[in-house]
């Protein structure tokens, strides 16, 4: 069963929950979602909340209200009806259950047919359902805000994309996603580069002396600093990816956010390799004292699933 913990240090990379930006409500057809934030006690390994059982039937009768639809959280492999209790979106925490086609199922809850705002509560509810289901099932996470009008529409989705869903569920079986963001203090790195590079140090001295025009010296200094920062960043990132290569099934590099971040990566890790991956991240974090590691997970494989849905959905 996956577990999480929270801590961020410069020397030892410990797993943490960090916020991810919520996407707009179900505008693309991508079968991907972005989680919200959940706090964890520092360094404590806390299990995810277990599935809550509901007294309600696994698949409630269809609603008479024409404005009520079905919110879809993820796709799983299951032939029998499943109920996860009142975990879903809405002020009353809608009951979460499954809608089936053959041996796959959509995890859903009833919802008004509206564009769901990506508020903190809604994003956390979406995340909470996926994390709860993930404890016992391999999941294909759906985009935040995916709403269909009826169960029949969902069954048509499962039927039309059955081969794709089945193939992805097989490939993702027993695997989780972990996130790793690496940051540095840019000013500190610049000072180190100035100390180590004689040409840069000389140009800085010319600029500081302010004897005559310093325009060309400043231009050359800026180019040399930028090139040195880029080279050092690429070296760090390459070494970190290389160090994690044999404990991960796959990896993905995303665009860094802000000036301090030099690495924004996701790793697909087999369930039985979780402890090895965890230990390797900590070891790497201890070796790079000047870098800050933000390590999150386990998540559903958000960065490694990208099924495009062709059906028209409810809005």
The domain spans of the chain are: 21-173, 178-299
> 28 pLDDT exceeds 70?
no
165: left (phi over 0), alpha (psi -120 to 50) or beta: alpha
Q: Which of 84-93, 164-173, 237-246 has the lowest mean pLDDT?
A: 84-93
Q: What is the pLDDT of residues 113-170, one digit of tens each?
A: 888 889 999 999 999 999 999 999 999 999 899 999 999 999 999 999 999 999 999 9
> 301 pLDDT exceeds 70?
yes
Q: What is the pLDDT of residue 15?
A: 58
Handedness of CA 10, 13, 19, 22 (dihedral sign): positive
- The alpha carbon of residue 252 and the mean position of all alpha carbons in its chain are separated, in whole angstroms, by 11
Q: How far apart are CA 92 and CA 171, in angstroms?
A: 35
Q: What is the pLDDT of residue 42?
A: 28
188 three-state secondary structure: helix
Given a contact cutoff of 8 angstroms between Cβ atoms, the answer to whether 73 and 129 are in contact is yes
Q: What is the pLDDT of residue 309?
A: 54
Q: Which residues contact 142 (CB under 8 A, 6 or more apart)?
A: 31, 32, 33, 72, 73, 74, 75
Mean pLDDT, the chain, integer: 80
Q: How far apart are CA 260 and CA 254, in angstroms?
A: 15
Q: What is the pLDDT of residue 260?
A: 94
- Across 259-277, b (16+ Cβ under 10 Å) vs e yields eebbbbbbbbbeeebbeeb
Q: How far apart are CA 27 and CA 225, in angstroms?
A: 42
Q: How far apart are CA 60 and CA 95, in angstroms?
A: 9
> 34 pLDDT exceeds 50?
no
Q: How far apart are CA 254 and CA 244, in angstroms?
A: 16
> 303 pLDDT exceeds 60?
yes
Crossing angle of helices 215-244 and 198-209, rounded to 10°: 140
Q: What is the pLDDT of residue 104?
A: 97
Of the two residues 148 and 17, the one the predictor is more confident about is 148
Task: Pick one of 3.30.2310, 3.30.160, 1.20.140, 3.30.70 as the CATH number of 178-299.
Answer: 3.30.70
Using CB atoms within 10 Å of the CB of residue 303, give its burial: 0 to 12 exposed, 13 to 18 middle, 19+ buried. buried
- CB-facing half-sphere around the CA of 228: CA atoms within 13 A: 21
Q: How far apart are CA 240 and CA 68, in angstroms?
A: 48
Name which of 95, 125, 107 is nearest 22 in CA terms: 125
Q: What is the pLDDT of residue 279?
A: 95
Kindly state the tokens that stand for 62.
């269809």
Cis peptide before 299 (omega within 30 of 0): no
């Amino acid at each position: 069963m996956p577990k999480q913990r929270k801590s961020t240090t410069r020397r030892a990379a410990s797993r943490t929950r960090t916020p991810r930006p919520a996407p707009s409500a179900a505008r693309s057809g991508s079968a991907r979602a972005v989680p919200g934030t959940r706090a964890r006690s520092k360094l404590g390994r806390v299990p995810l909340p277990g599935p809550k059982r509901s007294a309600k039937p696994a698949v409630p009768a269809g609603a008479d209200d024409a404005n009520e639809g079905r919110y879809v959280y993820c796709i799983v492999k299951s032939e029998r009806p499943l109920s996860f209790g009142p975990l879903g979106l809405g002020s009353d925490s809608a009951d979460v259950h499954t809608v089936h086609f053959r041996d796959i199922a959509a995890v859903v809850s009833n919802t008004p047919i509206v564009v769901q705002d990506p508020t903190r509560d809604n994003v956390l509810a979406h995340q909470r359902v996926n994390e709860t289901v993930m404890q016992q099932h391999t999941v294909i996470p759906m985009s935040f805000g995916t709403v269909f009008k009826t169960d029949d529409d969902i069954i048509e989705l499962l039927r039309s994309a059955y081969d794709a869903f089945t193939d992805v569920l097989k490939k993702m079986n027993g695997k989780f996603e972990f996130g790793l963001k690496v940051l540095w203090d840019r000013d500190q790195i610049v000072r180190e580069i100035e100390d180590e590079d004689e040409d840069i140090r000389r140009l800085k001295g010319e600029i500081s002396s302010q004897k005559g025009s310093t325009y060309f010296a400043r231009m050359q200094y800026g180019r040399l600093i930028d090139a040195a920062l880029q080279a050092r960043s690429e070296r760090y990132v390459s070494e970190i990816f290389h160090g994690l290569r044999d404990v991960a099934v796959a990896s993905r590099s995303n665009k860094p956010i802000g000036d301090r971040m030099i690495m924004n990566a996701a790793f697909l890790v087999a369930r039985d390799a979780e402890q090895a991956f965890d230990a390797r991240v900590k070891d790497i974090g201890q070796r790079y004292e000047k870098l800050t590691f933000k390590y999150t997970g386990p998540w559903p494989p958000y960065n490694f699933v990208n099924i495009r849905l062709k059906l028209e959905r409810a809005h």
